Every structure is written in C-alpha cells, then in structure tokens.
Amino acid sequence: MSTSDFGNIPEKALKGRALSHQTILRAPEVIPKTTQLTCRYMNNDRKPFITFKFKYRSKAALQSLLIIPRNPSPVPLEDRDGDILTLEESHELLRRHREREDAAPSVKRERFKRERSSTAVMEDQDDDNVSFVSAKRRRLPITLNEDGIEIVDLT
C-alpha cells in the first residue's frame, strides 16, 4: 500500500480543524517470524470486548481548541515588583520609561494679553482728579489630563 492509494484529501474534510501532524508509509521490510497469541471471545457473537481508538493532536492544537488551558501570559514588566527584576528586565523597563517620556507631547504655554478695563469714574466735575477703577481677572487653575494636554474650562 502506498500513499498514492489514498489519493488527495478534500479541503472540506479539513475545514475548521487544526492539523499539525502527518504520517507516511515507507518501503516494506521483511521482519523475522513472530509468535502469535490466540484469544477467546468473552461472548458468542465474536465481537471484541473493548476497542481502543488512539487519537492524537498536538498540545498547540488542543490549546487552540480550548480543550486544555493555554500557557499563562507573562506579567508585564511595569506590573512586576522592582526587587525581583533581572538586570536585563530593569534595563528594558528603564528604556520603555524613557521612550514614553520622550514621546509625551510637551505643551508650550502661550502668553495672552489681558484686557484692561477703561472705565473711569469721575469724582466731582473737576478734570484734575480722575481715578481709574478696574478689576483684575481671576487666574484660572491649569488642569492637565492623563496625556499631559491642558484642559481649559470655558464655563
């Protein structure tokens, strides 16, 4: 029997199944004579008492089908305790931290002109004594969101 006796396997037969192994037949070889065992059937209908069917799938295929649990994901470096990090892991964590700081947009604070009140209150009708009354603008607190962008409250 050769592999060509089986022909091609239709694609529909394989749809949705993860196949990771294959078998092939090699050239036949002569083996020395072996001893045989003769067994009696337990019942009279000459059917075997038990039949074993061995099926095999790879560990990766069983994990993808959620038959066995997947390997746990490693804990991110940022979430680990700093005392248990190896030297390479601490260097990697420091490199990531620096990249994040460099990538954070820096906010340039722009100056803006304040409006001055030009309201004049006249005391008496005399032009010699004029006093200007103006109220200072209240300075609003600067609020930054988690990305470092300034939020302006317009209410």
What is the 3-class SS of the chain, one letter each residue? CCHHHCCCCCHHHHCCCCCCCCCCCCCCCCCCCCCCCCCCCCCCCCCCCCCCCCCCCCHHHHHHCCCCCCCCCCCCHHHCCHHHCCHHHHHHHHHHHHHHHHHCCCCCCCCCCCCCCCCEEECCCCCCCEEECCCCCCCCCCEECCCCCEECCCC
pLDDT at residue 76 above 70? yes
Q: Is the pLDDT score of 122 beyond 60?
A: no
Q: State the pLDDT at residue 150.
A: 80
Q: How confident is the model at residue 102 (pLDDT cuts 50, 70, 90)?
A: confident
pLDDT by residue (tens digit) across 3-16? 555 567 667 766 77
Domain chopping of the chain, boundaries: 1-26+36-70
Q: Does the pLDDT of residue 93 top 60, yes or no? A: yes
Q: What is the mean pLDDT of residues 68-91?
A: 83
Nearest to 151 by CA among 106, 143, 141, 112: 143
Q: Is the pLDDT of residue 31 over 80?
A: yes
Q: Is the pLDDT of residue 125 over 60?
A: no
Asked whether the predicted pLDDT for residue 29 surpasses 80, the reply is yes
* Angle at 139 (CA atoms; ends 134, 145), nearest 5 degrees: 160
pTM > 0.75:
no
Residue type, 7: G
Percent of the chain with pLDDT over 90: 0
